[in-house]
């Protein structure tokens, strides 16, 4: 029988109103956990079954100390995200917000004697032409396209490594997810990511559908429910090393767009125009980014959801909820 480290435990999920948090909360409740959420999002987005919600900014250290008090486990899902345009125009805000949230929350967790802490990093920590294997991270600098957020996430990982050594903090865990998509994604046109952006625009009947780049850029996509399962396994198995969480399969942006348009719950079939004058994948070395998931397989962390099924579920959720959809907190608004 699989070990359960959550039964009757107080679990704080930072960023728990997002798509991974929405998938994670029901699973943790089933495991007997008491769920606490901290987020800057609207209270209406808090998952059902949450014991207490804190609407606080974790860039503030005092807020971090407050929410981690008496917690058994902290799961850090925080990450300021946005469209490529925002990434290019607000690099300082991207870097410092991600850095402050990571540093402050782990510091507060250690001070308040939290037993377990999971940090959600990103595959943006890997460099161009990297093998995308966990041990290879420090052999390259982050990609030019990810260097600000990538370095911030690296510093979060380095802090974890330092805390293990100095404080003998054994319950520290790191996952590095690929591009996450799924129900409850951010569909705000100002800062949505690629899957949500394309789905929203197709359903809004944009025609022609203009896509940045030539469509040949290759990325790795992982469904939010699979990320939630990975988090639970990493904590329950007490995995001490960083673990990649992805499909291990490369998908071109062109194929992604066609997969979305060909979903059974998509009625409109727009003409696709790839705007080759606008870069989507940056430099040549960054054209392909696919995680090596051999370590995840070793720990029986599996990507169960196919891209077609995951996209169908995401579109289905959006169709049912778009009229009452609440915009997520926009750090750049």
CB crowding 70-84: b at 16 or more within 10 Å, else e = ebbbbbbbbbbbbbb
Rounded-to-integer distance, Cα 79 and Cα 15, Å: 8
Which pLDDT does position 285 carry in this prediction? 47
Q: Is the pLDDT of residue 84 over 70?
A: no
Which pLDDT does position 327 carry in this prediction? 60
C-alpha dihedral (143, 146, 149, 155), degrees to nearest 10 = -10
Tell me the pLDDT band of 1, cut-offs 50, 70 and 90. low
N residues, the chain: 333
What's the mean pLDDT in 14-32? 97
Q: How far apart are the first and last CA of the chain?
A: 47
Q: Is the pLDDT of residue 281 over 90?
A: no
Rounded-to-integer distance, Cα 144 and Cα 1, Å: 45
Q: Is 250 helix (H, G, I), strand (E, B) or coil?
A: coil
Tell me the pLDDT band of 73, cut-offs 50, 70 and 90. very high
What's the mean pLDDT in 252-277? 93
What's the mean pLDDT in 113-120? 97
Q: What pTM value is reported for the model?
A: 0.93
Which pLDDT does position 150 carry in this prediction? 84
Tell me the pLDDT band of 331, cut-offs 50, 70 and 90. low
Let me know: does 124 contact 142? Beta carbons within 8 Å: yes
Which pLDDT does position 141 carry in this prediction? 86
Which pLDDT does position 164 carry in this prediction? 96
Q: What is the DSSP letter of 68?
A: H
Give the C-alpha distances (Å, rounded to integers) separating 61 from 57, 88, 154, 332: 9, 28, 20, 21
As a whole number, the mean pLDDT across the chain is: 90
What's the mean pLDDT in 81-88? 56
Give percent of the chain above pLDDT 70.
91
Going by DSSP bridges, is the β-strand pair 251-252/218-219 parallel, antiparallel, or unpaired? antiparallel
Q: Is the pLDDT of residue 216 over 60?
A: yes
Q: Is the pLDDT of residue 118 over 80?
A: yes
CB crowding 315-331: b at 16 or more within 10 Å, else e = bebbeeeeeebeebbeb
Sign of CA dihedral 231, 234, 235, 241: negative
Tokens matching residue 58: 């974790």
Tell me the pLDDT band of 98, cut-offs 50, 70 and 90. confident
Which pLDDT does position 130 carry in this prediction? 83
Lowest-pLDDT range, 39-43, 142-146, 174-178, 210-214?
142-146
Lowest-pLDDT range, 15-19, 57-61, 171-175, 278-282?
278-282
Compute the chain's Rg from CA coordinates.
19
Lowest-pLDDT range, 1-15, 198-212, 284-298?
284-298
Let me know: does 139 contact 194? Beta carbons within 8 Å: no
Rounded-to-integer distance, Cα 22 and Cα 44, Å: 12
Rounded-to-integer distance, Cα 162 and Cα 164, Å: 5
Which pLDDT does position 148 carry in this prediction? 82
Q: What is the DSSP letter of 53?
A: E
Let me know: does 8 contact 63? Beta carbons within 8 Å: no
Strand order in the sheet with 218-219: 251-252, 218-219, 288-289
Which of residues 327 and 174 earns the better pLDDT score?
Answer: 174
Q: Is the pLDDT of residue 324 over 80?
A: no
Tokens matching residue 310: 């995951």
| Domain annotation for the chain: domains and CATH numbers | 10-324 (3.40.50.720)
Which pLDDT does position 128 carry in this prediction? 81
Tell me the pLDDT band of 280, cut-offs 50, 70 and 90. low
Q: Taking Cα atoms as reference points, which of 36, 33, 48 lies closest to residue 12?
A: 36
Helices (H), the chain: 19-30, 61-68, 84-89, 91-111, 147-167, 194-203, 224-236, 253-261, 294-298, 307-321
Which pLDDT does position 332 carry in this prediction? 44
């Amino acid at each position: 029988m699989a070990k359960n480290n959550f039964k009757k435990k107080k679990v704080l999920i930072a960023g728990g109103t997002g798509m991974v948090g929405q998938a994670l909360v029901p699973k943790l409740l089933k495991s007997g956990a008491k769920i606490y959420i901290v987020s800057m999002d609207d209270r209406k987005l808090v998952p059902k079954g949450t014991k207490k919600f804190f609407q606080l900014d974790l860039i503030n250290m005092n807020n971090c100390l407050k929410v981690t008090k008496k917690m058994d486990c902290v799961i850090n899902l925080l990450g300021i995200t946005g469209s490529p345009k925002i990434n290019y125009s607000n690099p300082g805000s991207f870097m410092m917000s991600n850095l402050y949230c990571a540093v402050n929350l782990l510091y507060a967790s250690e001070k308040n004697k939290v037993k377990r802490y999971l940090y959600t990093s990103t595959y943006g920590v890997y460099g161009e032409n990297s093998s995308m294997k966990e041990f290879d991270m420090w052999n390259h600098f982050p990609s030019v396209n990810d260097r600000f957020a990538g370095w911030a996430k690296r510093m979060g990982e380095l802090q974890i490594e330092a805390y293990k050594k100095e404080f003998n903090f054994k319950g520290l865990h790191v996952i590095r997810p690929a591009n996450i998509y799924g129900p409850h994604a951010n569909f705000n046109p100002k800062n949505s990511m690629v899957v949500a952006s394309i789905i929203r625009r197709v359903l809004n009947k944009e025609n022609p559908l203009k896509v940045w780049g030539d469509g040949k850029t290759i990325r790795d996509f992982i469904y939010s429910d699979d990320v939630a399962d990975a988090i639970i396994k990493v904590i329950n198995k007490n995995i001490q090393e960083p673990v990649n969480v992805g499909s291990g399969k490369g998908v071109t942006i062109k194929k992604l767009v066609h997969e979305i348009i060909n979903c059974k719950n998509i009625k409109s079939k727009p003409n696709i125009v790839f705007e080759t004058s606008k870069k989507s994948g940056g430099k040549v070395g960054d054209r392909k980014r696919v995680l090596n998931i051999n370590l995840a397989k070793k720990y029986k962390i599996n990507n169960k959801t196919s891209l077609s099924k995951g996209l169908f579920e995401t579109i289905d959720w959006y169709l049912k909820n778009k009229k009452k959809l609440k915009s997520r907190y926009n750090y750049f608004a």
